[in-house]
């Protein structure tokens, strides 16, 4: 049974024991292996958004709910991440830097029960390709909100500073467009 406080402590312990994502990935995999228990603890997702579950200098845990059909522009974290899906689907396109632009480097579809690490240098964009909400636990190996990072214009693929206001607006717009 998923217990948020125990999960946070397990992730903190795993991060302290192993600064890479490997031990944290195991904790996330254990959690999303029982998706109904995660939903019971966090609540049934009602709308898209980002909820901070834990934040410290060396670890951030977020509950991200992607609205139906939402796509977010290419972005980086500048720290490792582990994504665990507890409901729905998240499609990732991976990008690599080519001069002052990006080019595609691969893709991966994540579904309920998947727990996948992303390396420190990964640039990716995310789409929820289904007509309902997707819930995911995202664990980051640092302070997600205090780390300067970049995003890329989805049309020109040119780098720009991360804009949290624009990110919030994307979630709100996607919530408005989502099927009832």
Residue whose entry in the numeric block shows the structure tokens 């989805």: 154
C-alpha count within 13 angstroms, C-beta hemisphere, residue 52:
8
- Here the CATH number for the domain that contains residue 44 is 2.60.120.10
Q: What is the mean pLDDT of residues 46-63?
A: 97
| pLDDT for res 99 | 86
Q: Which domain holds residue 120?
A: 4-177
Q: pLDDT band at 139, cuts 50/70/90?
A: very high
As a whole number of Å, the CA-based R_g of the chain is 16
Q: Has this prediction a pTM greater than 0.75?
A: yes
Number of continuous H segments (helices) and E segments (strands) in the chain: 4, 11
| pLDDT for res 101 | 86
- Asked if residue 71 has pLDDT above 80, the reply is yes
- Asked if residue 180 has pLDDT above 80, the reply is no
Higher per-residue confidence, 164 vs 125: 125
pLDDT by residue (tens digit) across 85-134? 999 999 999 999 988 889 999 999 999 999 999 999 999 999 999 999 99
Domain count, the chain: 1
């Amino acid at each position: 049974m998923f217990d948020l406080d125990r999960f946070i402590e397990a992730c903190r312990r795993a991060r302290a024991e192993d600064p890479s994502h490997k031990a944290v990935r195991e904790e996330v995999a254990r959690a999303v292996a029982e998706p109904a228990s995660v939903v019971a603890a966090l609540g049934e997702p009602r709308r898209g958004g980002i909820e901070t579950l834990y934040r410290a200098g060396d670890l951030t845990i977020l509950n991200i709910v992607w609205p139906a059909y939402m796509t977010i522009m290419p972005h980086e974290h500048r720290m490792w991440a582990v994504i665990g899906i507890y409901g729905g689907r998240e499609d990732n396109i991976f990008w690599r830097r080519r001069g002052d632009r990006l080019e595609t480097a691969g893709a991966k579809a994540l579904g309920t029960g998947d727990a996948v690490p992303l390396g420190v240098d990964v640039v990716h964009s995310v789409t929820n390709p289904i007509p309902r909400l997707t819930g995911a636990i995202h664990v980051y190996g640092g302070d997600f909100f205090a780390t300067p990072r970049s995003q890329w214009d989805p049309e020109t693929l040119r780098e720009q500073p991360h804009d949290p206001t624009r990110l919030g607006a994307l979630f709100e717009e996607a919530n408005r467009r989502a099927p009832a």
